[in-house]
Amino acid sequence: MPRQPIYLDNQATTAVDPRVLAAMLPYFTETYGNPHSNGHPYGWEANEALEQSRSEVAALIGADAREIVFTSGATEACNIAIRGVAQAEKKRRARGGRSRIVTLATEHACVLSPCADLAREGWEVVVLPVGRDGIVDLDAFAEAVDERTLLVSAMLANNEIGVLQPIAEISAICRANGATLHTDATQAIGKIPVDVHALGVDLLGLSAHKFYGPMGIGALYVRWRPKVKLAPLASGGGQERGIRPGTAPVPLAAGLGEACRIAGAEMATDARRIRRLTERLWDGLRQRCPQATLYGHPSLRIPGNLSVGFPGQSGEKIVDAVSRHVAISTGSACSSSEAKPSYVLAALGIGAEAAQSTVRLSVGRFNTEAEMDAASIWLSKKTNVPSYEQSGTSRAFVA
């Protein structure tokens, strides 16, 4: 029997890879210097680790090390990107500069919330809808972006439904209009190849704990040339090019670097394995619950995500009913405490009832085939789907 509850909430956070933990430990206890102390070996070695990590992050996304700014996670990275670009343009806006910010209805709260704040501060914020498959309509996007558009923030992969936005196409439209493009790539990093030049982005946010690194560290890619105009949100010692002052957490950075190194080396095999596991889980579920519905684009998606609706059921009740056996969530971890249905699912136009009936299953590096089989059995047992009872297979169930 696999260890229970089976962890299928890898889009909320992932276990730290043992190799990542090993890479971090010396920086807590041995090489504990301040990376900005330049008078002794403790500081030099810490600084070396910090710069090594910066290079690993840069290499994973096709960037230059000087374009990487360490942050506390994706929430801070996205806030610095969005608020920072707006702040840097503020004076010009008053003199007739760019005043529009365009984003998508299915963005993470760490993008939508700063955008809503900026709307209250007088920026014209346009939140574009997505289609039933979760993907933005490029014609509607092209119409919303013009020469008055300062910033576009569009996520690469969605945290609830896993779908991928056409960032390269979005970038072409931004370029044609001189708009800066930020992408929240938190759910894509480590799962699919991400290259800032192929995507054509100016700013990109990521977080270590979504790909087997530690919680509490992330990074913001800030394009060097053409230079992105970015005002810092905090002031202090001027670290991280002044964009994110404060002492960088060296142990966490070492972990992020190692997570990036592993992702770069093993992403293809990891993705193949996770895709196979996810298909196995989905096949098992569909077999046992023929009514189960998969939301989001069928192929333009990251490996590992299943957003599954169980018609007539309550997603919240399912999560609760299986919680001792399978660890899943209804939507994003950040909004699932709210009783209302996920705004991401609502944006698909599937209706409130279907949205309420949906759970997110997310498969990761440390899951196994046996876990997929056990999870689909537990889920079908606890979702009480009538056809399951009729099929007689429930009798064969072994706890």
Ligand X SMILES: *Cc1c(COP(=O)(O)O)cnc(C)c1O
Residues that bind ligand X (CB under 6 A): 73-75, 108, 110, 155, 159, 184, 186-187, 207, 210, 218
Smallest separation, CB 327 to ligand X (Å): 16
* Residue closest to ligand X (Cβ): 73
Which residue number, 110 or 136, has a Cβ lying nearer to ligand X?
110
Identified catalytic residue from 78, 110, 115, 334: 334
Q: Where are the alpha helices (DSSP H) in 189-337?
A: 196-199, 250-288, 315-322
Residue 220 has a CB neighbour count (10 Å cut-off) of 26
CA angle 269, 273, 274 (to 5 degrees): 115
Annotated active-site residue 334? The verdict is yes
> Measured from the CB atom, is 11 or 149 closer to ligand X?
11
Smallest Cα–Cα separation from 251: which of 32, 9, 75? 32
Q: Which residues, in sequence order, are CB contacts of 383 under 8 Å at separation 6+?
A: 289, 310, 313, 318, 321
Q: Give me the least distance between CB of 184 and ligand X, in Å please.
A: 5
In whole angstroms, how close is the CB of 31 to ligand X at the nearest point? 25
Residue 318 or 344 having the CB closest to ligand X: 344
SS3 221: strand
CA distances from 323 to 75, 100, 210, 214, 281 (A): 27, 44, 21, 24, 17
d(CA 379, CA 337): 21
Considering beta carbons, is residue 73 or 315 the nearer one to ligand X? 73
Q: Cα–Cα distance between 61 and 204 in angstroms, integer?
A: 9
Minimum CB separation of residue 297 from ligand X in Å reads 16
Q: What residues are labeled active site?
A: 334
